A and B are shown apart, each in its own frame.
Chain A
Amino acid sequence: MTGYVLRRAGGALIVLFLLSVLVYLLFYVAPGDPATLACGPRCNAEQIRQVREQLNLGEPLPTQYLHFLQGIVAGRDYSTGTGVLHCPAPCFGLSYRNDQPVTELLAARLPVTASLAFGAMVLWLLLGVGTGLLSALRRGGITERVLTVLTLAGTATPVFITGLLLLMIFCAALQWLPFPSYVPLSEDPEQWAWNLLLPWTTLALLESAKYARLTRSSTLETLAEDHIRTFRAYGVRERSVIGRHALRGALPPVIALNAVDLGTMFGGAMLTETLFGLPGLGQLLVQSVRTVDLPVVVAAVLGIGAAVVLANAVADVLYALADRRVALR
């Protein structure tokens, strides 16, 4: 098991390294002069030259990349003209816009995205797994039909439409909920939850149909297995047969898919964050792309990549823990 985790971690590092090379190349080789971008629109030629020196843009590309890696591992110093700014490891450079270390920018956004992702996960699991179970066990019931239509509609509708509709209904028309703005969990848990309720619902509606389908097919498959028949033939109550045995067999694939989705959520919630004005990673990435703030974009893409890679590894380990027959090697 430990060996497996180590090997998976090694694999994940290699993927992230390749991703970093690719992203670095993509942005620094792309048209547009980084020095001009970093300096801003009102710089003259002399200022641009200075910036180019500060950023070591005169060096060959591999050297620049090595400096970039060195910054991540060990930290890096930047001269600001008047003094030296130390950027501690992991350093992804300084934002072109305000010379803040990129790491700080990202760290400030992370709690927002994490709140959004985990909360949405709880909702989509409740809605998706619940709908799936209902449709596996009581097919044709009115609740099941309503939930199935709801989840399907949620998946079929783009996030910005669902989100806007929810905003119009619950914030504008009915005024049951505040227009979302982020309140840190540590400050006021109640306000945190109230403000995030609509973004959570939006994402949960998008994801839940997938879980409903998976739970349904997985439960039906387990119910058809021989060991379910064994427990029925031994007088075990139907409730226990389903709760203890059928559900237990149906859950591993759901858990694994969920881990992957959670990882994707860290990067994929851009639309939702932007729509609801939540200052998360996705929103930061959108803004940075718009203003061509290259160091931030590179770091954000790498961070999202890391989340996806990590989530996949976690999904495999969780699956193996849930189903001991799966050999980890």
Chain B
Amino acid sequence: MTAALVEVRDLTVTFPAGDAPGTPGTGVRAVDGLSFTLAPGRALGIVGESGSGKSTVAAALLDLHRGTGARVEGTVRVDGLDVLTAPEPRLRRLRGGTAAMIFQDPLSSLDPYYAVGDQIAEVYRVHRPDASRRTARARAVAALDRVGIADAARRARARPHEFSGGMRQRALIAMALACAPRLMIADEPTTALDVTVQAQILDLLHDLRAETGMGLILVTHDLGVVAGGVDDVLVMRAGRAVEHGPVGEVLGAPRAPYTKDLLAAVPRIDAVRGGAGEPPAPPVPRTAPSAPSGPSGPVPGEVLLEATGLRREFGRRGSRTTAVQDVSLTVRAGETVGLVGESGSGKTTVGRMLVRLLDPTAGTLRYRGRDIGRLGERELRPLRGELQMVFQDPVSSLNPRRTIGESVADPLRAAGELDDAGIGRRARELLERVGLDPAWYHRYPHEFSGGQRQRVGIARALAPSPRLLICDEPVSALDVTTQAQVIALLGELRRELGLAMVFIAHDLAVVRAVSDRVAVMRAGRIVEEGPVDTVYDHPRHPYTQGLLAAVPVLDPRVAADRRALRGAAAQETRPPSLSAT
């Protein structure tokens, strides 16, 4: 049967190499001889790490590479149309009409200047030229209603910036639905979203598929996202298919070594510590240097940092918002405290207050018994070295115009204890300690990968010999395998140097893998705190329970069960269905 909805044969996409215009025939081969088919109504997940070519494949299905200078070879058939050779008008009918695409970043994927409903109506009228403006608008409202936008008729007149991230992604799905396509292509549709919103969007995609019978191609880096949402999985690496098969087989019993590595690197939320390749130190007993076993509590060791009733407000009179209130947190020597929460929960603000990068509006902050919440900059300076921070984005937190060695040497120079030769020697030691070649001292950040740059960031934080390291989303910009390596490095450092850590992240599984204790934040407050296993296995607060239930799991059957549970809970709020035209 040639009734395949999508048929890709020997697809090769080559981007012209930017730096070498004089060398013909060279270029970056993003996709290399890829073939797959998708039957109508089925769902395929394309999984891979950054640079694997998965998004390039998605774009090729609509020939979005046309006119960009990329060389696309092979054949792509979507609903019988030879996409790569189709004339422009025919291709336009395919785009949005037969196959609709939704994108990763819902913030920038809609035009900021027009009302959301108008943008959907515009697309509808492109594909139904005989439809009146009124019909198109009504259709847009119906589509918004279907994807769960409350009060759709009124919200259709709002502009994208008046929507939350989840609502924008729903609006984009509504745009895709507007013309009742046979295929939906979702390119990292939930990567920019919080975990609870991600679960809602994935459930929505699943329901829509069941309802309209459309096919789905779901492109993602997250194996958990794929587990719950597709029938088949295609694992990509460096432009090639590594493994292709039913989702249960690929995730349950992978054959390719790469898939095995990938799965091993995914931090498990349900597993005991050790998902991250190498176990990052058992919680007890701790090798806290010369610290006698404490009389009580799971972790022996002196109290390093104690925050009580921290509060932080932003903005001037009138438009004042409280980002953090009544947050109390204790960090003991050698212990790792996880701080989890969704975006906007105030976890980064807390982290910055702990090292006095931000001044608390109220509350006390004690470091080894000394009140440092109100210290002036001059008195604080000797303590700065003991409290260090590792930032989320290794690209923007390193000065691109300084070599990595200089960046690591900066805190040493600021401390002023070593001479130039000593600083250079120590900086090279630090680079080596975090797994970088000391000979790279004179290289610049752009020459390194994301994981390597984060290693530089860690080396810089280690330079002043800190006792406490605040890591703010240190691995969220990294691929899973790199993420596992960086987590393992942090665990090693913690063991060897007896470091205390506050580990801030939105990813519940990562936090479980590294923390002894965990605090869950929501809307500026800590809603639950306790030993990590207790909080994860027996969450008491409903919010924590909801968060944990929303985390994607790798077992497709468990994922289906969980979706059914969530669906039952939300049954009464489901809007009326949008009939497929």
Name A's B-contacting residues (CB within 8 A).
Answer: 225-227, 229-237, 240, 244-245, 248-249, 323-325, 329
- Given contacts A226-B105, A235-B95, list 12 more A-B pairs with CB under 8 A: A225-B108, A227-B112, A229-B64, A229-B103, A231-B123, A234-B95, A234-B96, A235-B123, A244-B122, A245-B114, A324-B161, A325-B161
Interface bits B83-125 vs A (CB < 8 Å: 1, else 0): 0000000011111110011010100111111100000001100
Query: In the complex, which residues of chain B have a beta carbon less than 8 angstroms from the beta carbon of A324?
Result: 113, 159, 161
Contacts of A229 in B (CB 8 A): 64, 103, 109
- Report the nearest B residue to A236, measured CB to CB: B126
Q: B112 to A323, Cβ gap below 8 A?
A: yes
Which residues from B are CB-within-8-Å of A323? 112-113
User: Across the interface, do A232 and B64 meet the contact criterion of CB distance under 8 Å?
Assistant: yes
Q: Decide if B548 is an interface residue (CB 8 Å cutoff).
A: no
Complexed CA–CA distance, A108 and B319 (Å): 48
**Min CB–CB distance B84 → chain A (angstroms):** 16
- Decide: A237 and B105 in contact? CB cutoff 8 A: no
What A residues does B161 contact at CB under 8 A?
Answer: 324-325
Q: A233 to B441: give the CA distance in the assembly, Å.
A: 44
CA of A225 to CA of B108, assembled, Å = 7
Contact A230 B110 (CB under 8 A): yes
Chain B residues, CB < 8 A from A226: 103, 105, 108-109
Partner pick for A249 among B101, B111, B159, CB 8 A cutoff:
B111
A319 to chain B, nearest CB (A): 13
* B95 contact set on A, CB distance < 8 A: 232-235
Cα–Cα, bound, A26→B112 (Å): 49
Residues of B within 8 A of A325 (CB): 112, 159, 161
Cβ-defined partner of B113 (8 Å) among A233, A234, A236, A249: A249
Q: Which chain A residue shows the least CB distance to B108?
A: A226
Residues of chain A contacted by B319 (CB below 8 angstroms): 329
Pick the 4 closest A-B CB pairs, nearest first: A234-B96, A235-B95, A235-B92, A226-B108
Closest A residue by C-beta to B124? A234
- Pick the residue among B103, B108, B109, B113 that contacts A248 (CB under 8 A): B113
Produce 1/0 per residue, B364-385, CB < 8 A to A: 0000000000000000000000
| Contact in complex: B113, A235 (CB < 8 Å) | no
Interface pair A234/B126, CB less than 8 Å apart: yes
Any chain A CB within 8 A of the CB of B175? yes
CB < 8 Å neighbour of B111 from A232, A233, A245: A245
Inter-chain contact A235/B108, CB cutoff 8 Å: no
* CB-based contact B105/A233 at 8 Å: no
Whether the pair A237, B111 counts as a contact (CB closer than 8 A) is: no
B64 and A234 form a contact (CB under 8 A): no
**Residue of B100, B112, B172 ringed by the most chain A CB atoms within 10 A:** B112
Q: Tell me the bound Cα distance from A312 to B110 in angstroms.
A: 30
Roughly how many angstroms separate A151 CA and B126 CA in the complex, as a whole number?
Answer: 38
B112 adjacent to A249 (CB under 8 Å): yes
For this complex, 28 residue pairs linking A to B, each with C-beta atoms less than 8 Å apart, are: A225-B108, A226-B103, A226-B105, A226-B108, A227-B110, A227-B112, A229-B64, A230-B103, A230-B109, A230-B175, A231-B122, A233-B62, A233-B96, A233-B101, A234-B96, A234-B123, A234-B126, A235-B91, A236-B96, A236-B123, A237-B126, A244-B122, A245-B113, A248-B111, A249-B113, A323-B112, A324-B113, A325-B159
CA A229 to CA B102, docked complex, whole Å: 11
Enumerate chain A residues within 8 angstroms of B64, measured Cβ to Cβ: 229, 232-233
Contact check, B108 vs A237: say whether CB atoms are below 8 A apart: no
B96 interface neighbour in A235, A245, A329, Cβ under 8 Å: A235
* Option from A227, A231, A234, A245 in Cβ contact (under 8 Å) with B108: A227
Q: Is the CB of B103 within 8 A of A235?
A: no
CB B27 to nearest CB in A, in angstroms, measures: 21
Annotate B153-177 by CB proximity to A: 1 below 8 A, 0 otherwise: 0000001010000000000100100
Q: When chains A and B are docked, how far (Å) is the Cα of A240 from the Cα of B126?
A: 10
Instruction: Tell me the complex Cα distance, A244–B101, Å.
Output: 20
A324 to B114, CA, bound (A): 10
Determine how close the nearest CB of chain A comes to the CB of B191; give it in whole angstroms.
13
In the complex, A160 Cα to B64 Cα: how many Å?
51
Contacts of B103 in A (CB 8 A): 226, 229-230
Interface presence of B127 (CB below 8 A): yes
B116 CB, nearest partner CB in chain A, Å: 12
Within 8 Å CB of B113, what residues of A? 245, 248-249, 323-324
Would you call A235 and B112 a contact (CB within 8 A)? no
User: Nearest CB to that of A230 among chain B residues?
Assistant: B109
CB of B146, distance to nearest CB on chain A (Å) = 18
* B100 proximity list for chain A (CB < 8 A): 233-234
Q: How far is the CB of A252 from chain B (nearest CB, A)?
A: 9
With A226-B103, A226-B105, A325-B161 as contacts: A235 and B127 at CB distance below 8 Å: yes
In the complex the two chains form, what is the Cα distance from A329 to B123 in whole Å?
35
